[in-house]
Amino acid sequence: MSTHELDARRMLCPMPVIKTQNKIKELADGDILDVICTDPGALSDIPAWARINGHEVVGHRENDDELIISVRVSR
């Protein structure tokens, strides 16, 4: 189990979702992926994508203009 980071800054939706989806393909069950984004739309799209595909958003935090969304991978 490990934590990974994905830089999706300045990307507009759905690109942060696509990058998250592609990164998660490489990760193992239980891994955490922290997605750093600047498009507030990601806050609805990444959780929606996670719900559909069986992963879990375990939290999010905001840092200045950045948003960090944590997804736990489920296989």
Comparing CB distances to other proteins, the nearer of 34 and 39 is 39
Q: Which residue has the tokens 């944590």?
A: 70
Q: Which residue has the tokens 């300045």?
A: 10
Comparing CB distances to other proteins, the nearer of 17 and 31 is 17
* Residues 74 and 29 sit within 8 Å (Cβ to Cβ): yes
Instruction: Check if 37 is active-site.
Output: no
Of 13, 15, 43, 57, which residue is the catalytic one?
A: 13
* Contact footprint for other proteins (CB under 8 A): 10, 12-15, 17-18, 21, 39-41, 44-45, 48-49, 51-53
